[in-house]
Amino acid sequence: MSFASVFPLDPITALLLAALTIILLVYFNTESTSCGIVNFPPGPAPLPVIGNLHILDLKKPHKSLMELSEKYGTVYSIKLGPTRIVVLTGYETVKDALINHSDAFGERARIPIFEAIMEGYGQPFNPTCTMNCAVANIICFITLGDRFDYEHEGFVQLVKRVNESIKLSGSPLVQLYNAFPFLGFLPGAHKTIFYNERMITAFLNSCFKENSQKLDENDLRSFIDVFLFRQQQESDNPNSYFHENNLLYTTSNLFSAGMETTSTTLRWGMLLMMKYPEIQKKVYEEIINVIGSERPPRAGDQKNLPYTNAVIHEIQRFADIVPLSIPHATTVDLNFKGYFIPKETQVIPLLSSVLYDKTQWEKPNEFNPSHFLNAEGKFVMRDAFIPFSMGRRSCAGETLAKMELFLFFTVLIQKFKFQVPPNISELQLESGVGFTSFPKYQNVCAVRR
Question: Residue 197's closest CA among 129, 151, 245, 145?
Answer: 245
Lowest mean pLDDT among 19-28, 311-320, 328-337: 19-28
According to DSSP, residue 45 is labeled P
Q: Can you name the CATH fold of 117-448?
A: Cytochrome p450 (1.10.630)
Q: Which residue has the higher pLDDT, 283 or 433?
A: 283
Under 8 Å between Cβ of 113 and 433? no
3-state secondary structure of 294: coil
Q: Which residue has the higher pLDDT, 211 or 2?
A: 211
pLDDT digits (tens, 9 = 90+) for 103-131: 899 887 888 877 777 664 476 778 888 88
pLDDT at 214: 86
359 — phi, psi (to 5°)?
A: -80, -10
- Judged on CB neighbours under 10 Å (0-12, 13-18, 19+), 192 is middle
Under 8 Å between Cβ of 444 and 125? yes
Q: For residues 42-64, give the mean pLDDT.
A: 90
CA atoms within 13 A on the CB side of 149: 3
Rg (CA), the chain: 24
pLDDT digits (tens, 9 = 90+) for 230-263: 998 998 888 888 888 888 888 888 888 788 889 9
Rounded-to-integer distance, Cα 124 and Cα 58, Å: 30
Which range of 96-110, 170-184, 200-214, 313-327 scores highest in mean pLDDT? It is 313-327
Question: Residue 169's closest CA among 142, 136, 194?
Answer: 194
348 — phi, psi (to 5°)?
A: -110, 105
* Percent of the chain with pLDDT strictly greater than 90: 49
Helix (H) or strand (E) holding 88: strand 83-88
| 389-to-212, 267, 328 alpha-carbon distances in Å | 35, 21, 11
The model's confidence at residue 264, banded by pLDDT at 50, 70 and 90, is very high
Q: For residues 183-205, give the mean pLDDT.
A: 90
Under 8 Å between Cβ of 185 and 199? no
Residue 9 has pLDDT above 70, yes or no: no
The domain ranges of the chain are 117-448
Which range of 95-99, 306-310, 439-443, 445-449 scores highest in mean pLDDT? It is 306-310
The model's confidence at residue 374, banded by pLDDT at 50, 70 and 90, is very high
H-assigned helices in 343-386? 351-355
Residue 446 has pLDDT above 60, yes or no: yes
Model confidence, pTM = 0.80
Angle at which helices 398-415 and 128-144 pack, to 10 degrees?
140
